[in-house]
Structure 1
Amino acid sequence: MVEGNQRPQICLICGQEQHESLEILGKQICCTCETEMVKSKVEDPVYLYYVWRLRRLLAH
């Protein structure tokens, strides 16, 4: 979590600035995207989008 007076981070999934986020491998995922990813099912159209965006974690 990003705390205190630190500047907002950019979410790896939605690209929006977020003050509260989850950090994975040095990248940020906002709480909203985290919640939506956890709720999504493999058959949901948005699931492939999340997989595609998360691949960026491994690319760097």
Structure 2
Amino acid sequence: MSRKDQCSICSRETEEGIYLLRVYICEACEAEMIGTPADDPRYEYFVKRMAKAHKSMIPS
């Protein structure tokens, strides 16, 4: 049985993805992030989602 984790970008539960500084990213979001140029409006969305995910990992 495979483990499913929730993507920090799209919130879908998937079996395939990566952890980046303890933040899980599914393969689909990883591919889209890599292929998105910095001048694309989606780039800012990814930056904000990653920042939010990383902040949630810091203990209060």
By how many angstroms is 1:7 displaced? 2.7
Report the equivalent of 1:28.
Answer: 24
CA distance in 2, matches of 1:30, 1:49: 16
Q: Structure 1 length as normaliser, TM-score?
A: 0.82
4+ long deviations beyond 4 Å:
none
CA distance in 2, matches of 1:58, 1:28: 10
CA distance in 2, matches of 1:25, 1:6: 22
Q: Structure 2 length as normaliser, TM-score?
A: 0.82
Q: What amino acid sits opposite 2:34 in the alignment?
A: V
Q: CA RMSD in A?
A: 1.2
| Identity within the alignment, % | 34
CA distance in 2, matches of 1:23, 1:58: 11
CA distance in 2, matches of 1:32, 1:58: 19
Report the equivalent of 2:5.
Answer: 9
CA distance in 2, matches of 1:58, 1:7: 22
Where do 5+ consecutive residues of structure 1 fail to align?
none
